[in-house]
Amino acid sequence: MAKAGAGSKKKATKKSASKEGAAKKTTAEKSTAKKEATDRAASTKAEAASAPDNAQLPASKGKVSIFGGPKDRGLKPDDKLALPTGPHFAYEKVRNLNPKSFYCSMRWDYHLQHMSPEEGKRWWANKKILITNPANGNAVVARAVDYGPHENTGLDIGISPGAAEALGVAAGDEVEIVFADQKAPTGLVSK
């Protein structure tokens, strides 16, 4: 019987240690969550502070074109994107874009306040843009990767085949365009 009593003491000790560990874990999780929220707020403030006052989208609505990916025959295989969207601000090849991902192009203003054109390109690179189809209410968040479409086309924004499919639009259809939350993931926005 002495052995049974010792076993139940060990179980009780394990239970209290487990409860203590859970309490410490919860406190640590709360601390981590609080730190992440503070970091996000600081990052948002820093981004707002670094954003030039005159940064505006080239259009708030307009007609779409569809571009990019390995099947885009309007481009040479070695054509590179106009914005440095790759790691360490590298210029990726247009044909390397995944057509199912969500990306876009517009005629960005690279001459932002107190920035060289190259700094302006870096500022626009991977900016999140919210694109909405007013006909059905579908919306996507896409990242800025390229400059275009050309002014002579009469089109205002280029989007990926995946974004066009999610929006339910074809080339020439009209969409609405605004800045998205820069922390938002790219993809279809749930209604």
Examine the domain organization and report whether 159 and 70 are in the same domain: yes
Examine the domain organization and report whether 167 and 88 are in the same domain: yes
Contact 177, 167 (CB under 8 A): no
Number of domains into which the chain is organized: 2
Contact 126, 145 (CB under 8 A): yes
Instruction: Give the 3-state secondary structure of residue 114.
Output: coil
Domain range spanning residue 2? 1-50
d(CA 63, CA 113): 28
Examine the domain organization and report whether 42 and 117 are in the same domain: no
Examine the domain organization and report whether 22 and 101 are in the same domain: no
Examine the domain organization and report whether 157 and 67 are in the same domain: yes
Identify whether 55 is part of a domain: no
CATH of the domain at 173: 2.40.40.10
Segment 81-108 shows an average pLDDT of: 94
Examine the domain organization and report whether 35 and 85 are in the same domain: no
pLDDT tens figures, 99-157: 999 999 999 999 888 889 999 999 999 999 999 999 999 999 999 999 999 999 999 99
pLDDT tens figures, 42-84: 433 334 334 555 579 999 999 999 998 888 888 788 899 999 9
Query: CA 92, 131, 127, 87 torsion: positive or negative?
Result: negative
In the predicted structure, residue 36 carries a pLDDT above the cut 50: no
Examine the domain organization and report whether 43 and 69 are in the same domain: no
Examine the domain organization and report whether 136 and 66 are in the same domain: yes
Examine the domain organization and report whether 97 and 183 are in the same domain: yes
Examine the domain organization and report whether 111 and 157 are in the same domain: yes
40 — pLDDT class (breaks 50, 70, 90): very low
Examine the domain organization and report whether 8 and 92 are in the same domain: no
The model's pTM is 0.71
Examine the domain organization and report whether 101 and 165 are in the same domain: yes
Indicate the pairing of strand 157-159 with strand 174-179: unpaired
Identify whether 56 is part of a domain: no
